[in-house]
Amino acid sequence: MPSPAHAVLRRVFGFDDFRGPQQAIVEHVAAGHDALVLMPTGGGKSLCYQVPALLREGTAVVVSPLIALMQDQVEALRQAGVRAEFLNSTLDAENAQRVERALLAGELDLLYVAPERLLTGRFLSLLDRSAIALFAIDEAHCVSQWGHDFRPEYRQLTVLHERWPEVPRIALTATADPPTQREIAERLDLVQARHFVSSFDRPNIRYTVVQKDNAKRQLLDFIGRHRDAAGIVYAMSRRKVEETAEYLCAQGYNALPYHAGLPAEVRAANQRRFLREDGIVMCATIAFGMGIDKPDVRFVAHVDLPKSMEGYYQETGRAGRDGEASEAWLCYGLGDVVLLKQMIEQGEAAEERKRLERAKLDHLLGYCESMQCRRQVLLAGFGETYPQPCGNCDNCLTPAAAWDATVPAQKALSCVYRSGQRFGVGHLIDILRGSDGEKIHQFGHEALSTYGIGRDLDSRTWRSVFRQLVAAHLLEVDTEGHGGLRLTDASRQVLKGGRTVMMRREQAPTREREPRSAQ
Protein backbone atom coordinates (compact mmCIF):
# COMPACT_ATOMS: atom_id res chain seq x y z
CA MET A 1 0.00 0.00 0.00
CA PRO A 2 1.42 3.43 -0.87
CA SER A 3 2.11 5.79 2.04
CA PRO A 4 -0.17 8.84 2.38
CA ALA A 5 2.65 10.95 1.00
CA HIS A 6 2.98 8.74 -2.07
CA ALA A 7 -0.75 8.78 -2.58
CA VAL A 8 -0.73 12.60 -2.68
CA LEU A 9 2.31 12.63 -4.97
CA ARG A 10 0.54 10.40 -7.48
CA ARG A 11 -3.00 11.64 -7.22
CA VAL A 12 -2.29 15.39 -7.12
CA PHE A 13 1.04 15.83 -8.87
CA GLY A 14 0.97 12.83 -11.18
CA PHE A 15 4.51 11.66 -10.31
CA ASP A 16 5.34 8.03 -9.59
CA ASP A 17 8.13 8.47 -7.11
CA PHE A 18 9.83 11.00 -4.95
CA ARG A 19 13.23 12.18 -6.04
CA GLY A 20 16.33 12.02 -3.88
CA PRO A 21 15.61 13.25 -0.35
CA GLN A 22 12.06 14.48 -1.09
CA GLN A 23 10.31 11.64 0.69
CA ALA A 24 12.36 11.97 3.87
CA ILE A 25 11.75 15.71 3.92
CA VAL A 26 8.03 15.39 3.27
CA GLU A 27 7.60 12.84 6.05
CA HIS A 28 9.68 14.86 8.50
CA VAL A 29 7.67 18.05 7.93
CA ALA A 30 4.33 16.27 7.73
CA ALA A 31 5.12 14.82 11.16
CA GLY A 32 5.43 18.37 12.50
CA HIS A 33 9.20 18.90 12.58
CA ASP A 34 11.34 21.79 11.34
CA ALA A 35 13.67 21.38 8.36
CA LEU A 36 16.31 23.27 6.46
CA VAL A 37 16.51 22.04 2.87
CA LEU A 38 19.61 22.74 0.77
CA MET A 39 19.02 21.48 -2.72
CA PRO A 40 20.27 22.67 -6.09
CA THR A 41 18.02 24.45 -8.54
CA GLY A 42 15.82 21.96 -10.31
CA GLY A 43 16.17 19.48 -7.45
CA GLY A 44 12.47 19.61 -6.67
CA LYS A 45 12.15 21.81 -3.60
CA SER A 46 8.53 22.84 -4.12
CA LEU A 47 7.12 19.37 -3.50
CA CYS A 48 8.92 19.28 -0.17
CA TYR A 49 6.37 21.68 1.28
CA GLN A 50 3.48 21.21 -1.15
CA VAL A 51 2.95 17.56 -0.24
CA PRO A 52 3.05 18.13 3.56
CA ALA A 53 0.72 21.07 3.00
CA LEU A 54 -1.86 18.61 1.71
CA LEU A 55 -1.16 16.03 4.39
CA ARG A 56 -1.59 18.37 7.35
CA GLU A 57 -4.65 20.13 8.69
CA GLY A 58 -4.98 23.82 7.89
CA THR A 59 -3.33 26.14 5.42
CA ALA A 60 0.37 26.06 4.53
CA VAL A 61 1.77 29.58 4.45
CA VAL A 62 4.56 29.93 1.89
CA VAL A 63 6.81 32.98 2.15
CA SER A 64 8.32 33.86 -1.20
CA PRO A 65 10.02 37.05 -2.38
CA LEU A 66 9.23 36.42 -6.04
CA ILE A 67 5.86 37.64 -7.19
CA ALA A 68 6.08 36.15 -10.68
CA LEU A 69 7.04 32.76 -9.30
CA MET A 70 4.21 32.86 -6.77
CA GLN A 71 1.68 33.37 -9.52
CA ASP A 72 3.09 30.55 -11.63
CA GLN A 73 3.07 28.13 -8.73
CA VAL A 74 -0.45 29.01 -7.66
CA GLU A 75 -1.68 28.58 -11.22
CA ALA A 76 -0.02 25.17 -11.54
CA LEU A 77 -1.41 24.05 -8.19
CA ARG A 78 -4.91 25.14 -9.08
CA GLN A 79 -4.72 23.17 -12.29
CA ALA A 80 -3.88 20.15 -10.18
CA GLY A 81 -7.01 20.79 -8.13
CA VAL A 82 -5.26 22.26 -5.10
CA ARG A 83 -6.86 25.18 -3.29
CA ALA A 84 -4.02 27.70 -3.58
CA GLU A 85 -3.97 31.50 -3.48
CA PHE A 86 -1.42 34.26 -3.16
CA LEU A 87 -1.38 37.61 -1.42
CA ASN A 88 0.91 40.31 -2.73
CA SER A 89 0.89 43.85 -4.02
CA THR A 90 -0.57 42.83 -7.39
CA LEU A 91 -3.97 41.96 -5.87
CA ASP A 92 -6.61 44.66 -5.57
CA ALA A 93 -8.34 45.20 -2.21
CA GLU A 94 -11.38 43.20 -3.16
CA ASN A 95 -9.41 40.12 -4.18
CA ALA A 96 -7.15 40.39 -1.17
CA GLN A 97 -10.23 40.35 1.06
CA ARG A 98 -11.60 37.33 -0.75
CA VAL A 99 -8.35 35.46 -0.11
CA GLU A 100 -8.31 36.49 3.54
CA ARG A 101 -11.84 35.27 4.03
CA ALA A 102 -10.98 31.95 2.43
CA LEU A 103 -8.01 31.63 4.79
CA LEU A 104 -10.17 32.28 7.85
CA ALA A 105 -12.81 29.85 6.64
CA GLY A 106 -10.17 27.12 6.32
CA GLU A 107 -10.74 26.85 2.58
CA LEU A 108 -7.11 27.07 1.47
CA ASP A 109 -4.48 24.36 1.21
CA LEU A 110 -1.66 26.76 0.38
CA LEU A 111 -1.28 30.51 0.65
CA TYR A 112 1.74 32.20 -0.93
CA VAL A 113 2.59 35.52 0.60
CA ALA A 114 5.32 38.12 0.13
CA PRO A 115 7.39 38.67 3.30
CA GLU A 116 6.50 42.35 3.68
CA ARG A 117 2.81 41.44 3.58
CA LEU A 118 3.21 38.56 5.99
CA LEU A 119 4.92 40.77 8.56
CA THR A 120 2.13 43.33 8.81
CA GLY A 121 0.33 43.32 12.16
CA ARG A 122 -2.91 42.89 10.30
CA PHE A 123 -1.80 39.72 8.56
CA LEU A 124 -0.20 38.23 11.67
CA SER A 125 -3.42 38.67 13.59
CA LEU A 126 -5.27 37.09 10.70
CA LEU A 127 -3.00 34.08 11.07
CA ASP A 128 -3.82 34.01 14.79
CA ARG A 129 -7.38 33.29 13.82
CA SER A 130 -6.54 30.67 11.18
CA ALA A 131 -5.43 27.04 11.23
CA ILE A 132 -1.84 26.88 9.96
CA ALA A 133 -0.46 23.62 8.58
CA LEU A 134 3.13 24.79 8.24
CA PHE A 135 5.35 27.69 7.29
CA ALA A 136 7.56 27.32 4.23
CA ILE A 137 10.29 29.92 3.75
CA ASP A 138 11.38 29.80 0.14
CA GLU A 139 14.62 31.36 -1.15
CA ALA A 140 15.82 31.30 2.45
CA HIS A 141 19.24 32.71 1.49
CA CYS A 142 17.52 36.11 1.27
CA VAL A 143 18.10 36.25 5.02
CA SER A 144 21.86 36.32 4.54
CA GLN A 145 23.68 39.57 4.24
CA TRP A 146 26.65 37.87 2.62
CA GLY A 147 24.43 36.23 0.04
CA HIS A 148 23.50 37.91 -3.18
CA ASP A 149 19.81 38.61 -2.62
CA PHE A 150 19.63 40.05 0.87
CA ARG A 151 16.10 41.09 1.87
CA PRO A 152 15.91 42.78 5.28
CA GLU A 153 12.33 41.57 5.93
CA TYR A 154 13.60 38.01 5.95
CA ARG A 155 15.38 38.79 9.21
CA GLN A 156 12.05 39.31 10.92
CA LEU A 157 10.70 35.91 9.97
CA THR A 158 11.80 34.56 13.35
CA VAL A 159 8.46 35.95 14.50
CA LEU A 160 6.85 32.85 12.98
CA HIS A 161 8.65 30.58 15.34
CA GLU A 162 8.16 32.85 18.34
CA ARG A 163 4.46 33.30 17.77
CA TRP A 164 3.58 29.79 16.57
CA PRO A 165 6.19 27.47 18.11
CA GLU A 166 4.09 24.38 17.44
CA VAL A 167 3.79 24.99 13.69
CA PRO A 168 6.55 23.26 11.68
CA ARG A 169 8.79 25.41 9.53
CA ILE A 170 10.65 24.39 6.42
CA ALA A 171 13.22 26.76 4.90
CA LEU A 172 14.53 26.05 1.42
CA THR A 173 17.38 27.37 -0.67
CA ALA A 174 19.61 26.46 -3.58
CA THR A 175 22.54 28.28 -2.01
CA ALA A 176 25.55 25.99 -2.00
CA ASP A 177 27.94 28.16 -0.04
CA PRO A 178 28.47 26.73 3.50
CA PRO A 179 28.92 30.11 5.31
CA THR A 180 25.63 31.30 3.84
CA GLN A 181 23.99 28.02 4.85
CA ARG A 182 25.18 28.48 8.42
CA GLU A 183 23.89 32.02 8.47
CA ILE A 184 20.46 30.87 7.26
CA ALA A 185 20.23 28.30 10.06
CA GLU A 186 21.22 30.89 12.67
CA ARG A 187 19.07 33.74 11.43
CA LEU A 188 15.96 31.63 10.99
CA ASP A 189 16.45 29.79 14.24
CA LEU A 190 16.90 26.45 12.50
CA VAL A 191 20.20 25.32 14.02
CA GLN A 192 18.39 22.55 15.89
CA ALA A 193 16.22 21.63 12.92
CA ARG A 194 17.11 18.68 10.72
CA HIS A 195 19.21 19.75 7.75
CA PHE A 196 18.70 18.03 4.44
CA VAL A 197 21.76 18.70 2.30
CA SER A 198 21.75 17.40 -1.28
CA SER A 199 24.69 17.12 -3.59
CA PHE A 200 25.07 20.30 -5.56
CA ASP A 201 26.45 18.56 -8.59
CA ARG A 202 24.67 19.20 -11.86
CA PRO A 203 26.05 16.35 -13.96
CA ASN A 204 24.43 17.40 -17.22
CA ILE A 205 26.08 20.82 -17.23
CA ARG A 206 29.41 20.97 -19.02
CA TYR A 207 31.71 23.68 -17.66
CA THR A 208 34.16 25.52 -19.89
CA VAL A 209 36.35 28.56 -19.26
CA VAL A 210 38.07 30.35 -22.12
CA GLN A 211 40.51 33.21 -22.24
CA LYS A 212 39.02 36.38 -23.66
CA ASP A 213 40.56 37.33 -27.03
CA ASN A 214 37.69 38.72 -29.01
CA ALA A 215 34.69 38.27 -26.77
CA LYS A 216 31.99 38.87 -29.38
CA ARG A 217 33.49 36.48 -31.89
CA GLN A 218 34.03 33.88 -29.18
CA LEU A 219 30.47 34.24 -27.97
CA LEU A 220 29.18 33.81 -31.48
CA ASP A 221 31.23 30.65 -32.00
CA PHE A 222 29.96 29.28 -28.73
CA ILE A 223 26.29 30.09 -29.35
CA GLY A 224 26.64 28.71 -32.86
CA ARG A 225 26.82 25.28 -31.29
CA HIS A 226 23.36 25.88 -29.81
CA ARG A 227 21.41 27.23 -32.76
CA ASP A 228 17.67 27.60 -32.02
CA ALA A 229 18.18 26.78 -28.35
CA ALA A 230 17.20 28.95 -25.42
CA GLY A 231 20.09 30.40 -23.47
CA ILE A 232 21.18 33.21 -21.19
CA VAL A 233 24.17 35.48 -21.74
CA TYR A 234 25.23 37.28 -18.58
CA ALA A 235 27.15 40.55 -18.78
CA MET A 236 28.14 42.92 -16.03
CA SER A 237 26.76 46.27 -17.17
CA ARG A 238 23.49 47.42 -18.63
CA ARG A 239 25.29 48.89 -21.60
CA LYS A 240 27.08 45.65 -22.35
CA VAL A 241 23.80 43.76 -22.07
CA GLU A 242 22.21 45.98 -24.68
CA GLU A 243 25.23 45.89 -26.96
CA THR A 244 25.37 42.12 -26.78
CA ALA A 245 21.66 41.76 -27.52
CA GLU A 246 21.97 44.10 -30.52
CA TYR A 247 25.02 42.29 -31.77
CA LEU A 248 23.36 38.88 -31.54
CA CYS A 249 20.21 40.17 -33.25
CA ALA A 250 22.34 41.51 -36.08
CA GLN A 251 23.83 38.03 -36.36
CA GLY A 252 20.40 36.51 -36.79
CA TYR A 253 19.66 35.43 -33.23
CA ASN A 254 16.47 36.05 -31.35
CA ALA A 255 18.14 37.99 -28.54
CA LEU A 256 16.48 40.21 -25.92
CA PRO A 257 17.94 42.47 -23.23
CA TYR A 258 17.07 42.34 -19.54
CA HIS A 259 18.41 44.62 -16.82
CA ALA A 260 17.13 46.74 -13.96
CA GLY A 261 17.35 49.93 -16.04
CA LEU A 262 14.62 48.84 -18.45
CA PRO A 263 11.00 49.82 -17.81
CA ALA A 264 9.12 47.17 -15.83
CA GLU A 265 6.80 46.42 -18.77
CA VAL A 266 9.71 45.75 -21.10
CA ARG A 267 11.35 43.49 -18.56
CA ALA A 268 8.15 41.57 -17.98
CA ALA A 269 7.49 41.25 -21.72
CA ASN A 270 11.01 40.01 -22.44
CA GLN A 271 10.86 37.53 -19.62
CA ARG A 272 7.53 36.25 -20.87
CA ARG A 273 8.91 35.77 -24.36
CA PHE A 274 11.93 33.93 -22.99
CA LEU A 275 9.67 31.57 -21.04
CA ARG A 276 7.08 30.97 -23.73
CA GLU A 277 8.89 31.09 -27.08
CA ASP A 278 11.59 28.76 -28.30
CA GLY A 279 15.15 29.73 -29.00
CA ILE A 280 15.31 33.11 -27.24
CA VAL A 281 18.73 34.23 -26.07
CA MET A 282 18.32 36.47 -23.05
CA CYS A 283 21.18 38.93 -22.61
CA ALA A 284 21.02 40.01 -19.00
CA THR A 285 22.63 41.33 -15.89
CA ILE A 286 22.26 39.24 -12.76
CA ALA A 287 18.95 41.05 -12.24
CA PHE A 288 17.56 38.25 -14.39
CA GLY A 289 17.07 34.72 -13.31
CA MET A 290 16.04 34.21 -9.73
CA GLY A 291 12.95 32.04 -9.77
CA ILE A 292 12.96 31.57 -13.52
CA ASP A 293 11.67 28.08 -14.08
CA LYS A 294 12.41 27.24 -17.69
CA PRO A 295 13.51 23.63 -17.97
CA ASP A 296 15.13 23.67 -21.40
CA VAL A 297 17.71 26.44 -21.10
CA ARG A 298 20.58 24.85 -23.07
CA PHE A 299 23.38 27.23 -22.20
CA VAL A 300 24.45 29.96 -19.83
CA ALA A 301 27.30 32.11 -21.10
CA HIS A 302 29.22 34.70 -19.09
CA VAL A 303 30.97 37.32 -21.15
CA ASP A 304 32.21 39.02 -17.97
CA LEU A 305 33.56 37.52 -14.81
CA PRO A 306 30.90 36.92 -12.14
CA LYS A 307 31.62 38.19 -8.64
CA SER A 308 31.80 34.89 -6.81
CA MET A 309 31.66 31.13 -7.24
CA GLU A 310 28.36 31.11 -5.48
CA GLY A 311 26.93 33.57 -7.98
CA TYR A 312 28.45 31.63 -10.85
CA TYR A 313 26.92 28.42 -9.61
CA GLN A 314 23.48 30.01 -9.23
CA GLU A 315 23.59 31.61 -12.64
CA THR A 316 24.85 28.53 -14.48
CA GLY A 317 22.36 26.41 -12.53
CA ARG A 318 19.61 27.88 -14.67
CA ALA A 319 20.81 25.69 -17.52
CA GLY A 320 19.55 22.16 -17.99
CA ARG A 321 16.89 21.86 -15.33
CA ASP A 322 15.34 19.17 -17.52
CA GLY A 323 18.45 17.00 -17.09
CA GLU A 324 19.47 17.23 -20.76
CA ALA A 325 23.01 18.11 -21.82
CA SER A 326 23.69 21.82 -21.30
CA GLU A 327 26.67 24.12 -21.20
CA ALA A 328 28.09 26.72 -18.86
CA TRP A 329 30.63 28.82 -20.67
CA LEU A 330 32.74 31.57 -19.17
CA CYS A 331 34.93 33.92 -21.16
CA TYR A 332 37.24 36.05 -19.09
CA GLY A 333 40.36 38.18 -19.29
CA LEU A 334 42.60 40.26 -17.11
CA GLY A 335 40.45 43.32 -17.83
CA ASP A 336 37.60 41.69 -15.92
CA VAL A 337 39.82 41.09 -12.93
CA VAL A 338 41.05 44.68 -12.93
CA LEU A 339 37.51 46.01 -13.17
CA LEU A 340 36.12 43.82 -10.40
CA LYS A 341 39.03 44.63 -8.10
CA GLN A 342 38.47 48.33 -8.69
CA MET A 343 34.77 47.95 -8.02
CA ILE A 344 35.48 46.29 -4.70
CA GLU A 345 38.08 48.81 -3.55
CA GLN A 346 36.20 51.88 -4.71
CA GLY A 347 32.89 50.59 -3.37
CA GLU A 348 31.22 51.92 -0.24
CA ALA A 349 31.30 48.65 1.65
CA ALA A 350 32.92 48.29 5.07
CA GLU A 351 36.43 46.83 5.22
CA GLU A 352 35.17 43.50 6.55
CA ARG A 353 32.82 43.16 3.61
CA LYS A 354 35.54 44.14 1.14
CA ARG A 355 37.81 41.48 2.55
CA LEU A 356 35.11 38.92 1.96
CA GLU A 357 34.53 40.15 -1.59
CA ARG A 358 38.25 39.94 -2.32
CA ALA A 359 38.35 36.39 -1.03
CA LYS A 360 35.34 35.47 -3.14
CA LEU A 361 36.90 36.90 -6.25
CA ASP A 362 40.16 35.08 -5.56
CA HIS A 363 38.28 31.85 -5.17
CA LEU A 364 36.64 32.37 -8.54
CA LEU A 365 39.98 33.20 -10.17
CA GLY A 366 41.33 29.98 -8.72
CA TYR A 367 38.53 28.15 -10.47
CA CYS A 368 39.18 29.91 -13.78
CA GLU A 369 42.90 29.21 -13.74
CA SER A 370 42.72 25.69 -12.40
CA MET A 371 44.02 22.79 -14.46
CA GLN A 372 41.99 20.36 -12.38
CA CYS A 373 38.51 19.07 -13.21
CA ARG A 374 36.19 22.12 -12.99
CA ARG A 375 33.47 20.15 -11.26
CA GLN A 376 35.87 19.05 -8.57
CA VAL A 377 36.97 22.63 -7.95
CA LEU A 378 33.41 23.96 -8.05
CA LEU A 379 32.03 21.41 -5.62
CA ALA A 380 35.06 21.61 -3.33
CA GLY A 381 34.13 25.27 -2.90
CA PHE A 382 30.82 24.10 -1.48
CA GLY A 383 32.42 21.68 0.91
CA GLU A 384 31.65 18.69 -1.30
CA THR A 385 34.16 16.11 -2.54
CA TYR A 386 33.70 14.86 -6.07
CA PRO A 387 35.59 11.58 -6.24
CA GLN A 388 36.89 11.41 -9.81
CA PRO A 389 37.48 13.88 -12.61
CA CYS A 390 34.05 14.30 -14.16
CA GLY A 391 34.75 13.75 -17.84
CA ASN A 392 32.32 16.55 -18.70
CA CYS A 393 34.29 19.78 -18.40
CA ASP A 394 36.92 21.41 -20.59
CA ASN A 395 39.78 20.35 -18.34
CA CYS A 396 38.66 16.72 -18.40
CA LEU A 397 37.91 16.65 -22.13
CA THR A 398 41.04 18.45 -23.29
CA PRO A 399 43.46 18.47 -20.37
CA ALA A 400 45.43 21.68 -20.16
CA ALA A 401 49.18 21.33 -20.31
CA ALA A 402 51.33 22.99 -17.68
CA TRP A 403 54.47 24.79 -18.74
CA ASP A 404 57.41 26.21 -16.88
CA ALA A 405 56.82 29.93 -17.19
CA THR A 406 59.52 31.02 -14.75
CA VAL A 407 61.57 32.96 -17.31
CA PRO A 408 58.61 34.73 -18.92
CA ALA A 409 57.32 35.50 -15.41
CA GLN A 410 60.66 37.07 -14.50
CA LYS A 411 60.63 39.11 -17.70
CA ALA A 412 57.08 40.27 -17.04
CA LEU A 413 57.75 41.20 -13.42
CA SER A 414 60.94 42.96 -14.28
CA CYS A 415 59.15 44.91 -16.99
CA VAL A 416 56.52 45.99 -14.44
CA TYR A 417 59.27 47.13 -12.09
CA ARG A 418 61.38 49.00 -14.66
CA SER A 419 58.42 50.87 -16.11
CA GLY A 420 57.49 52.21 -12.69
CA GLN A 421 54.68 49.85 -11.55
CA ARG A 422 51.89 51.92 -13.01
CA PHE A 423 51.10 50.59 -16.49
CA GLY A 424 48.39 48.20 -17.63
CA VAL A 425 48.91 44.95 -19.41
CA GLY A 426 48.57 46.27 -22.97
CA HIS A 427 51.45 48.67 -22.60
CA LEU A 428 53.59 46.16 -20.71
CA ILE A 429 53.20 43.70 -23.54
CA ASP A 430 54.13 46.43 -26.03
CA ILE A 431 57.37 46.97 -24.11
CA LEU A 432 58.15 43.27 -23.90
CA ARG A 433 57.42 42.70 -27.57
CA GLY A 434 59.39 45.76 -28.61
CA SER A 435 56.48 47.66 -30.14
CA ASP A 436 57.15 50.89 -32.01
CA GLY A 437 53.96 52.54 -30.71
CA GLU A 438 53.61 56.20 -29.87
CA LYS A 439 53.09 55.60 -26.16
CA ILE A 440 56.37 53.64 -26.00
CA HIS A 441 58.31 56.63 -27.28
CA GLN A 442 56.31 59.10 -25.28
CA PHE A 443 57.59 57.46 -22.10
CA GLY A 444 61.00 56.63 -23.51
CA HIS A 445 60.32 52.95 -22.88
CA GLU A 446 62.36 51.85 -25.88
CA ALA A 447 65.34 52.58 -23.63
CA LEU A 448 64.29 50.12 -20.91
CA SER A 449 66.38 46.98 -20.50
CA THR A 450 63.19 44.95 -20.79
CA TYR A 451 62.28 46.49 -24.14
CA GLY A 452 61.88 43.76 -26.73
CA ILE A 453 63.02 40.89 -24.47
CA GLY A 454 59.69 39.12 -24.96
CA ARG A 455 59.49 38.80 -28.71
CA ASP A 456 59.62 35.01 -28.42
CA LEU A 457 56.00 34.89 -27.15
CA ASP A 458 52.94 36.25 -28.93
CA SER A 459 50.71 38.78 -27.21
CA ARG A 460 48.01 36.20 -26.53
CA THR A 461 50.49 34.16 -24.51
CA TRP A 462 51.70 37.27 -22.72
CA ARG A 463 48.13 38.11 -21.76
CA SER A 464 47.76 34.68 -20.31
CA VAL A 465 51.04 35.09 -18.40
CA PHE A 466 50.00 38.41 -16.88
CA ARG A 467 46.56 37.13 -16.00
CA GLN A 468 47.97 34.09 -14.24
CA LEU A 469 50.50 36.25 -12.40
CA VAL A 470 47.64 38.33 -11.02
CA ALA A 471 45.61 35.25 -10.12
CA ALA A 472 48.64 33.82 -8.30
CA HIS A 473 49.21 37.10 -6.40
CA LEU A 474 52.57 37.61 -8.09
CA LEU A 475 51.21 40.89 -9.41
CA GLU A 476 48.52 43.09 -7.98
CA VAL A 477 46.18 45.59 -9.53
CA ASP A 478 46.59 49.21 -8.51
CA THR A 479 42.94 49.86 -7.73
CA GLU A 480 43.36 53.53 -6.85
CA GLY A 481 44.85 54.59 -10.16
CA HIS A 482 44.05 53.33 -13.63
CA GLY A 483 44.41 49.66 -12.89
CA GLY A 484 48.16 49.46 -13.50
CA LEU A 485 50.06 46.42 -12.24
CA ARG A 486 52.38 46.40 -9.23
CA LEU A 487 54.76 43.88 -7.71
CA THR A 488 53.82 42.04 -4.54
CA ASP A 489 56.02 40.62 -1.79
CA ALA A 490 55.87 37.27 -3.51
CA SER A 491 57.08 38.64 -6.84
CA ARG A 492 60.54 39.42 -5.45
CA GLN A 493 61.12 35.75 -4.84
CA VAL A 494 60.45 34.99 -8.50
CA LEU A 495 62.66 37.87 -9.64
CA LYS A 496 65.50 36.61 -7.48
CA GLY A 497 65.19 33.21 -9.12
CA GLY A 498 64.04 31.49 -5.93
CA ARG A 499 60.73 30.21 -7.21
CA THR A 500 59.53 28.19 -10.21
CA VAL A 501 56.31 29.40 -11.82
CA MET A 502 54.18 26.78 -13.56
CA MET A 503 51.35 28.01 -15.73
CA ARG A 504 48.40 26.67 -17.61
CA ARG A 505 49.01 26.62 -21.34
CA GLU A 506 46.16 28.33 -23.13
CA GLN A 507 44.36 26.08 -25.56
CA ALA A 508 44.10 27.22 -29.13
CA PRO A 509 40.42 27.72 -29.84
CA THR A 510 39.28 24.36 -31.20
CA ARG A 511 36.06 22.78 -32.27
CA GLU A 512 34.49 21.10 -29.27
CA ARG A 513 32.93 17.70 -29.02
CA GLU A 514 29.18 17.25 -28.91
CA PRO A 515 27.73 17.84 -25.44
CA ARG A 516 26.35 14.78 -23.71
CA SER A 517 23.27 14.09 -21.64
CA ALA A 518 23.08 13.25 -17.97
CA GLN A 519 23.11 9.53 -17.29
Name the amino acid, one letter, at 390: C
E-strand ranges in 54-204 read 59-63, 84-87, 110-113, 132-137, 169-173, 194-197
Per-residue binding letters, 263-282, with ligand ADP (x by CB under 6 A): --------------------
Q: By C-beta, is 44 or 179 nearer to ligand ADP?
A: 44
Stretch that binds Zn ion, among 115-123, 141-149, 323-331, 366-374 (CB under 5 A): 366-374
Asked if residues 68 and 267 have their Cβ atoms less than 8 Å apart, the reply is no
Least Cβ distance, residue 431 to ligand ADP (angstroms): 51
Length of the chain: 519
The yes or no reply on residue 392 touching ligand ADP (CB under 6 A) is no
Which of residues 36, 41, 232, 318 is near ligand ADP by CB under 6 A?
Answer: 41
CA distance 137 to 84: 16
293 interface partner picked from ligand ADP, Zn ion, none, CB below 5 to 8 A per type: ligand ADP
Which of residues 11, 15, 273, 493 is near ligand ADP by CB under 6 A?
Answer: 15
Asked if residues 333 and 460 have their Cβ atoms less than 8 Å apart, the reply is no
Least Cβ distance, residue 176 to ligand ADP (angstroms): 12
Which of residues 373, 379, 413, 470 is near Zn ion by CB under 5 A?
Answer: 373
Least Cβ distance, residue 290 to ligand ADP (angstroms): 11
Can you say whether the dihedral through the CA atoms of 118, 122, 128, 129 is positive or negative?
Answer: negative
Footprint of ligand ADP on residues 292-321 (CB under 6 A)? 293
Footprint of ligand ADP on residues 221-260 (CB under 6 A)? none
CA distance 328 to 311: 13
Asked if residues 317 and 41 have their Cβ atoms less than 8 Å apart, the reply is yes
Footprint of Zn ion on residues 379-398 (CB under 5 A)? 389-390, 393, 396
Least Cβ distance, residue 519 to Zn ion (angstroms): 15
277-303 burial, b if ≥16 CB within 10 A, otherwise e?
eeebbbbbbbebbbbbbbeebbbbbbb
Q: Which residue is nearest to ligand ADP (CB)?
A: 44
Asked if residues 147 and 176 have their Cβ atoms less than 8 Å apart, the reply is no
Which of residues 43, 168, 320, 454 is near ligand ADP by CB under 6 A?
Answer: 43
373 interface partner picked from Zn ion, ligand ADP, none, CB below 5 to 8 A per type: Zn ion
Least Cβ distance, residue 44 to ligand ADP (angstroms): 3
> Measuring CA to CA, which residue among 318, 270, 277, 263 is closest to residue 295?
318
CA distance 128 to 106: 13
Which of residues 8, 25, 35, 39 is near ligand ADP by CB under 6 A?
Answer: 39
Q: Are strands 59-63 and 254-258 parallel, antiparallel or unpaired?
A: unpaired
322-354 burial, b if ≥16 CB within 10 A, otherwise e?
eebbbbbbbbbbbbbbbbbbbebeeeeeeeeee
Enumerate binding residues for Zn ion (CB under 5 A).
373, 375, 389-390, 393, 396
Contact residues: ligand ADP, CB under 6 A: 15, 18-19, 22, 39, 41-47, 293
